[in-house]
Amino acid sequence: MLTHRDYERLCHEIWHHSKLYYVDHAPVISDEAFDALYKKLEELEAAHPEWITPESPTQRVNEALTSGFPTVQHAIPMLSLANTYSKEELQAFIARMHKLVGHSNVIFSVELKMDGIAITVRYEKGVLVHGVTRGDGKSGDDVTSNLRTVKSLPLKLIGDAIPDLLEVRGEVFMPHQGFDALNKQKEAAGDELWANPRNAAAGSLKLLDPREAAKRPLEVVFYGIAEMHPHPLATQHACHHYLAELGLPTLPIVAQCASFDEIWAFASRVHEARRTLPFDIDGVVVKVDSIRDQKRLGYTGKDYRWAVAYKFAAEQAVTRVREITVQVGRTGVLTPVAELEPIFLAGSTISRATLHNAEEVARKDIRVGDTVVIEKGGDVIPKVVSVNLDKRPEHTHPWRMPQECPCCGTPIERDPDEVAIRCPNRDCPEQIHRRIAFFASKDAMDIDTLGTKVVAQLIKHGFVKNPSDLYRLTEQQIGQLPGFKEKAIANLLTSIDRSRQVELSRFILALGIRHIGVGTAELLANKAGDMETLAKMSKEELMRIEGIGEIVADAVIAYFRDPDQQAEVQRLLEVGVAPKSVAVVVYDGHPFQDKNFVLTGTLEHYTRNDAAKLIKERGGKVVGSVSKKTDYLLAGSDPGSKLDKAKELGITILDEESFRKFLDN
């Protein structure tokens, strides 16, 4: 039976993979695997609604904002699409639409599912006003200056039927030809190559200098209308033709289908042709064609009811395992990796695949010399799916995790509560390397020009062993590194010095405390306010923080009780690292104190996170579902079933105006 601790672990796992996909643009599992985790979480929350918090992955659209860009609130929320992976699931969606619409003569618009970055672009009187990323679905990053450099995006609409206001939804992407040319330039310059076109498009769109963005071969395509005045169109299919008449780039392959058989035939044709297209797609999108029916069907809170994405299965290839090596992580976790005979798959040459852990290797019985099926969906790191036992060479042996760390020779240890096997030696050179690289990374201390190769050289020369040693580096030491001349030395020292002034949440993250990610570090920083308070917090105090469970609390306590960790934090403070304290405002005696809130619907003046924060500051608690213990329901537009249940139970219902008045009490 799954416990609350299992629930917390699942939430952490999903947020981790969400960050890898939406923020780092470097996912390590397939979309199908992610959706399976998400479905498991939904089922768990349905069984235990009391566990749900506003921080649950099910309570928001999983795409984070990027620092450095102004934030713009979407006039119309940018919701996601539900995913299907089988013929049966797609058939079930069609049957559901027939039932919801009320007849079986529903016409569907079927389109390509672009593998790019979702955006919304607004025109007023035919002139481009702004372009915004999806962000968290409520607001996104204003990337107008970068979008203006995309040659296929018109700055002014054309035609005789230009609306007074038009907001269109689409996708920024990088065609294969441009992607290949960009990687050749990076290779010539000795820079790290992009893994795939989607990563390259995401990185290019988020460049802070539009002049640099203009050098990237980005394109854009539009497939939907979020808002238009006047709005004379009756169908989704008509939108494509109308947008094209205005001079906007549209999807090259669309169709109207009157039955499931027609939809399936379209999807099959697209699947066959996908590798001949000049850009990446990962499936097809099926939408109820009637805009009137779309508006009537509405959305569930995060997905449109009238649309679904049918995603193609991950691509597979057959190759051979040359060797199984072991990689040492920054916390000492040993991860087996399959070294493969190189093979081209889904746009790139694959020579390595993670095997995750020793139990996974044993479960699939993967051995050196085996012929294996590997899988890679779009921009996902490949994995070994299965072994062809018929082709297994004679005299092979099951693989076993080494009993000593392959880097430092220390006997390994296994925590009985975890699958992970670790090297317990914190002085292990590989752990030191990865800890310092993580400390300097963008989400943590953000030390420019201090990449993994530079860190490796600093360790090799004996200049750095702990993060605090970075702040004692001299010009003479850095000058001994390969490729470092006067300007490069000055740039690195300036970047290190600049990082001394750092937000508290970034500093907490940089310390590398186990189970602490970006979001958890922010929760700890907001509650503690400063490092001294955080270091002294008890387990009970930590677990009272909304979103912090027993696993995280134990990890924080263990970190600050470790004399070596205490000494390193002190050294960092002594060399001038000054985490900026967070001012925590709590309103004692407020009417919200000790009251349970449920939020539902779309709020006009607040995001859900903002409203939840205001409630918590005043001593209230936000929960995910309505029950007899609920004191208030804060209801926006389109509130759904939670409003009905609150009325049945006689719970006090607040609209935004009432909520604002309460805030000032």
Catalytic residues: 113
**Interhelix angle for 87-101 vs 260-273, to 10°?**
140
* 27 to 12, 15, 193, 591: CA distances (angstroms): 15, 12, 16, 44
In a 10 Å sphere around its CB, with 0-12 CB exposed, 13-18 middle and 19+ buried, how is residue 637 labelled? exposed
CA–CA dist 442, 78 (Å, integer): 27
What is the four-CA torsion angle of 380, 382, 386, 387, rounded to 10 degrees?
A: 170
Angle, helices 563-574 vs 550-561, to 10°: value is: 70
Give the pairing type, strands 254-257 and 80-84: unpaired
Instruction: Provide DSSP, 532-556.
Output: HHHHH--HHHHHTSTT--HHHHHHH
Cβ-contact 329, 350 below 8 angstroms: no
Residue type for 332, please? G
Question: How far, in Å, CA of 203 to CA of 194, rounded?
Answer: 9
Neighbours of 614 (CB within 10 A): 18
CA distance 608 to 639: 13
Characterize 278-289 residue by residue with b for buried, 16 or more Cβ atoms within 10 angstroms of its Cβ, and e for exposed: ebbbbbbbbbbb
Which segments within 548-613 are labelled E, that is strand? 578-580, 596-600
**Cβ(524)–Cβ(534) under 8 Å?**
yes
CA atoms within 13 A of residue 196's CA, in its CB half-sphere:
24
- Residue pair 84/311 in contact (Cβ under 8 Å)? The answer is yes
Residue 365 CA neighbour count, 13 Å, CB half:
6
Main-chain phi, psi angles of 341, to 5 degrees: -65, 125
Q: Do residues 410 and 404 lie in contact, with contact meaning Cβ atoms separated by under 8 Å? A: yes
Q: Give the per-residue SS3 of 53-119.
A: CCCCHHHCCCCCCCCCCCEEECCCCCCEEEEECCHHHHHHHHHHHHHHHCCCCCCEEEEEEECCEEE
* CA neighbor of 576 nearest in space, from 441, 445, 442: 445
Please give the full DSSP string across 401-466, using - where no structure is assigned: --SB-TTT-PBPEE-TT-S-EE---TT-HHHHHHHHHHHTSTTTT--TT--HHHHHHHHHTTS-SS
Give CA–CA dist 311/30, Å, rounded. Answer: 11
Burial class (CB in 10 A: 0-12, 13-18, 19+), 361: buried
Give me the residues paired with residue 257 across strands. 108
